[in-house]
A and B are shown apart, each in its own frame.
Chain A
Amino acid sequence: MDLALQLLFTGIGIGAVYALVALGFVLIFRATNVVNFAQGEFSMVAAYLMVVFAVDLGWPYWLSFLLALAGMALLGAIFNLGVYYPLRHRTFLPVIIATIGASILLANSVLAIYGPQPQVLEGWFDTPGIQLGPVYLDSQYLLIIAVTIVLVIFNYWFFEHTMLGKKLQATSQDKEMASLLGISVSTMIMITFIYSAVLGGLAGILVAPVLFVSIQMGSTIALKAFAATIIGGFGDVAGAIIGGLALGIIETFGAAYISVPYKDGFAFLVLVAFLIFRPQGIFGERVAEKA
Chain B
Amino acid sequence: MTLTRRDFTAGLAVGITAPYVIGSARAQGATIKIGMCVPVTGPAAEQGLWAQNGAKLALAAVNKAGGVLGKQVELVIEDDQTTNPGIVLAFSKLAAQSDIVGFLGSIRSTQVHAMAPDVLKLGKPVMIGGTDPALTHMGNQWLFRFRPNDSYSGRVIADYGVNTLGKKKWAIVHSTDAFGTAGGKALASALEKLGTPAVLDQGYANQSQDFTPVVLAVKQSGADVLGTYFTFENDLGIFARQLRQLGVNIPWVGSPSVVAVSSTKLAGPALFGTYGVADYAEDSSEASKSFGKAYRDAYKTAPDNQSAWPYDALTILSAAINKAGSTDPVKIREAILATKKFAGAEGEYNFDQNGDGLHGYNVVRNEKGTIVYDKHIDFND
What is A's interface to B at a CB cutoff of 8 Å? 3, 6-7, 10, 14, 17, 108, 111, 115-118, 120, 128-129, 136, 138, 210-212, 214-216, 220-221, 252, 255-256, 260-264
Known: A117-B46, A136-B245, A136-B247. A212 touches B213 (CB 8 A): no
Q: Are B216 and A120 in contact (CB under 8 A)?
A: no
* Nearest CB on A from B288, distance (A): 23
| C-alpha gap A211/B207 in the complex (Å) | 10
- In the A-B complex, the 3 residue pairs with the smallest Cβ-Cβ separation, listed nearest first, are A116-B45, A256-B213, A255-B213
Q: B234 at interface (Cβ–Cβ under 8 A)? A: yes
Q: Are B207 and A252 in contact (CB under 8 A)?
A: no
Binary interface encoding of chain B residues 43-58 relative to chain A, with 1 for a CB under 8 A from any of its CBs, else 0: 1011011000000000
Q: Are B266 and A6 in contact (CB under 8 A)?
A: no
Known: A118-B46, A252-B213. A128 touches B245 (CB 8 A): yes
| C-alpha gap A138/B244 in the complex (Å) | 12
* Nearest CB on A from B204, distance (A): 5
Q: Are A116 and B266 in contact (CB under 8 A)?
A: no
Q: Are B49 and A261 in contact (CB under 8 A)?
A: no
* Nearest CB on B from A149, distance (A): 20
Q: B246 at interface (Cβ–Cβ under 8 A)? A: yes
Q: B372 at interface (Cβ–Cβ under 8 A)? A: no
Name A265's closest neighbour in chain B (CB-CB). Answer: B205
Q: Are A256 and B49 in contact (CB under 8 A)?
A: no
Q: B4 at interface (Cβ–Cβ under 8 A)? A: no
Q: Are B220 and A3 in contact (CB under 8 A)?
A: yes
Q: Are A7 and B216 in contact (CB under 8 A)?
A: yes
Residues of B within 8 A of A3 (CB): 216, 220
| C-alpha gap A117/B217 in the complex (Å) | 30
Residues of A within 8 A of B202 (CB): 260
Known: A10-B210, A14-B209, A211-B209. A129 touches B245 (CB 8 A): yes
Known: A117-B46, A118-B233. A212 touches B266 (CB 8 A): yes
Q: B265 at interface (Cβ–Cβ under 8 A)? A: yes
Q: B176 at interface (Cβ–Cβ under 8 A)? A: yes
* Nearest CB on A from B260, distance (A): 12
Name A253's closest neighbour in chain B (CB-CB). Answer: B213
Q: Are B205 and A261 in contact (CB under 8 A)?
A: yes
* Nearest CB on B from A118, distance (A): 6
Residues of B within 8 A of A260 (CB): 202-205, 213-214, 217
Q: Are A252 and B237 in contact (CB under 8 A)?
A: no
Residues of A within 8 A of B207 (CB): 216, 220
Q: Are B212 and A252 in contact (CB under 8 A)?
A: yes
Q: B208 at interface (Cβ–Cβ under 8 A)? A: yes
Q: Are B45 and A215 in contact (CB under 8 A)?
A: yes
Name B176's closest neighbour in chain A (CB-CB). Answer: A261
Known: A111-B41, A211-B238. A116 touches B203 (CB 8 A): no
Q: Are A212 and B238 in contact (CB under 8 A)?
A: yes
* Nearest CB on A from B194, distance (A): 26
Q: B262 at interface (Cβ–Cβ under 8 A)? A: yes
Q: Are A210 and B233 in contact (CB under 8 A)?
A: no
* Nearest CB on A from B238, distance (A): 6
Q: Are A256 and B245 in contact (CB under 8 A)?
A: no
Residues of B within 8 A of A264 (CB): 205
Complex A-B: 13 CB contacts under 8 Å: A115-B49, A116-B45, A116-B48, A116-B49, A210-B238, A211-B209, A212-B234, A212-B238, A252-B213, A255-B213, A255-B214, A256-B216, A263-B208
Binary interface encoding of chain B residues 154-184 relative to chain A, with 1 for a CB under 8 A from any of its CBs, else 0: 0000000000000000000000100000000
* Nearest CB on A from B286, distance (A): 30
Q: B268 at interface (Cβ–Cβ under 8 A)? A: yes
Name B237's closest neighbour in chain A (CB-CB). Answer: A212
* Nearest CB on B from A203, distance (A): 12
Q: Are A220 and B213 in contact (CB under 8 A)?
A: no
* Nearest CB on A from B103, distance (A): 22
Residues of A within 8 A of B209 (CB): 14, 17, 210-211, 220-221
Residues of B within 8 A of A128 (CB): 241, 245
Q: Are B213 and A216 in contact (CB under 8 A)?
A: no
List CB contacts (< 8 Å) of B217-263 with chain A.
Answer: 217, 220, 233-234, 237-238, 241, 245-247, 262
Residues of B within 8 A of A116 (CB): 41, 45-46, 48-49
* Nearest CB on B from A271, distance (A): 17
Most chain A CB neighbours (cut-off 10 Å) among B205, B207, B213:
B213
Q: Are A117 and B262 in contact (CB under 8 A)?
A: yes
Q: Are B205 and A120 in contact (CB under 8 A)?
A: no
| C-alpha gap A7/B213 in the complex (Å) | 7
* Nearest CB on B from A50, distance (A): 16
Residues of B within 8 A of A138 (CB): 245
| C-alpha gap A211/B213 in the complex (Å) | 16
Binary interface encoding of chain B residues 123-141 relative to chain A, with 1 for a CB under 8 A from any of its CBs, else 0: 0000000000000000000
